Copies of this chain bind each other. A is one copy, B any other.
């Protein structure tokens, strides 16, 4: 593993598209990490990135992995490149942070799992939504018993991206993007639900195509059966953006609402969210006499993207534990694939069935 300049963990950014730049902006000012070098195929783009971030740039991924002063790579590359690039990183002893979903092809998932496990590298998958202040507060209240016994949870993520898909877009290909918005949007909420209630046992779903030029699912409505609560997941690519979580407990219910257009500005995302609690304010033996009260729950802002990179960096030194590790990342994909299968085959699917196929 690399030698660090000072105390900071040395990272390399790989894949310098929109998301790679968003991530770098989120962690560049972190005292925990140093963005030391970068790589993408386009020489002009990597030169610009290197200039913007005062880092080096490599002429190949192999050259980057050959550097002995790099601790880990931050991979923001197309999904079908995850498996070979993680294998190469693992072979070079570099720790890996990779964007969600870890992979959607079962063969890719098995390759990644083998590479990570046999090499012993630290592996983190980018599922930052669970680090939003409101999502953390939901779980804190749940665990503290402040909601009473939970019974139902509903999570929705939608945007209008499917309305403009062109023929040939990878998002329109069921193999690359199973369930359409389920893989791209729903997986964020699947991880949030995993964070709150674990992996569901059984799922079912409805999918719709919608009038666009591609053959993929554009709308998903799914039921997720967790231990102890019933769950609903909506993922819709044909409507203006929505990102909400409703959690119903015996003492109170919570509604979380996020303006996703602030997602990439991770230091400001929490400022564009709200968490509201509804509880019985005036109780009465007569149900008609009961009065509900709604109030805003104050949230201390965090930085969801920076936090996950910092956790990853610290974990490379044994100073933190990765929350969304390989098992969690694979479980999230297993839920995606289970719902996609439930829709295709018009039946209820046990998530264990898919997990077994993924070797998990």
Contacts and interface: CB of A to CB of B under 8 A. Distances in A.
A176 interface: no
A236 B348 contact: no
A208, A225, A291: most-surrounded residue (chain B CB, <10 A)? A208
A132 B346 CA distance: 35
Contacts of A193: none
Contacts of A210: 149, 151
A250 B160 contact: yes
A246 B156 contact: yes
A28 interface: no
Nearest to A342: B204
Contact of A230 (B208, B246, B290): B208
Interface stretch (A107-115, A117-125, A215-223): A215-223
Contacts of A259: 292
Contact of A223 (B206, B240, B249, B290): B206
Interface in A186-201: none
A152 B231 CA distance: 17
Interface string A32-50: 0000000000000000000
Q: How many copies does the complex hold?
A: 2
A239 interface: yes
A206 B261 CA distance: 33
A342 to B, nearest CB: 9
B236 A151 contact: yes
A314 interface: no
A248 interface: yes
Nearest to A347: B348
A189 to B, nearest CB: 14
Contacts of A261: 288, 290-292
Nearest to A200: B206
A23 to B, nearest CB: 14
Contact of A204 (B204, B219, B229): B204
A154 B154 contact: yes
Contacts of A159: 287
A232 B234 contact: yes
A253 interface: yes
A152 B253 CA distance: 23
Contacts of A236: 151-152, 248
A232 B230 contact: no
A294 to B, nearest CB: 9
A299 interface: no
Nearest to A161: B287
A334 to B, nearest CB: 18
Nearest to A281: B240
A151 B217 CA distance: 12
Interface string A155-188: 0101111010000000000000000000000000
A267 interface: no
Given A219-B230, A240-B292, 10 more contacts: A149-B238, A154-B234, A206-B231, A221-B232, A223-B223, A236-B248, A240-B280, A241-B278, A242-B246, A242-B248
29 contacts: A149-B210, A149-B238, A151-B236, A152-B158, A152-B219, A152-B234, A154-B221, A154-B232, A154-B234, A160-B287, A204-B204, A204-B223, A206-B225, A206-B231, A208-B230, A219-B230, A221-B232, A222-B223, A223-B223, A239-B249, A239-B250, A239-B253, A240-B278, A242-B246, A242-B248, A242-B253, A261-B291, A264-B288, A347-B348
